[in-house]
Amino acid sequence: MGEQWNRRGFLRAGAAAGLLVFAAPAACSSHKPPPASTGGGGPLTITHAFGETTIPEPPKRVVSAGLTGQDDLLALGIVPVAVTAWFGDQPFDYEVADLAVVVGGNVAFAYALGRMGSPGAFSLWFRFTVGLRKNEGTWQIAHLHASVPFYMDETRRAALDLTP
């Protein structure tokens, strides 16, 4: 039942779950950010809440300072020269239980219980579902959902102590 994952596998799962936290509110927002101005290979100006940032030319070295941003960079073919050590030297593990995969034509769904943690620090069970679409012979993630159960009482707090 348990499977020891490497750092990249753990961060991919964490990135997928974290992406939901940040992408869902943005997808539901009616606010449209101003478009960035590009000049082909020239300067790029990005307008944001704190003003503007101009990048004069494509960067030669990129650092991923967030906890999961390196996966987005790698997906774009950019290899960061440094990344944030999420757990530092602390060990972590990941476990998948009750995995089910349903395939029909060019669409598939997988769902399971997942547990991530660090021995002696924390252990957290959650449920995840992945919707896949086959595009030109390659399976691609079309939808990803992860959720943690919560107590349906007056506290409405996350039920982090539950196990399957």
Q: Where residue 7 falls among pLDDT bands split at 50, 70, 90?
A: low
pTM: 0.49
Per residue in 13-53, pLDDT (tens digit) is: 555 544 444 444 444 444 454 454 444 567 888 898 899 99
- Topology match between the domains 7-27+36-83 and 89-147: no
Domain boundaries, the chain: 7-27+36-83, 89-147
Task: Please tell me the distance from the alpha carbon of residue 24 to that of residue 140, in angstroms, as a whole number.
Answer: 19
Comparing 164 with 67, the larger pLDDT belongs to 164
Task: Please tell me the distance from the alpha carbon of residue 139 to that of residue 143, in angstroms, as a whole number.
Answer: 12
Q: How many CB atoms neighbour CB 68 within 10 A?
A: 20
Q: Which residues contact 44 (CB under 8 A, 6 or more apart)?
A: 36, 37, 38, 54, 55
- How far the first Cα of the chain sits from its last, in Å, is 12
As its CATH architecture, domain 89-147 has Roll (3.10)
As its CATH architecture, domain 7-27+36-83 has 3-Layer(aba) Sandwich (3.40)
Q: Is the pLDDT of residue 59 over 70?
A: yes
pLDDT score for 12: 58
* The one-letter amino acid at 137: G
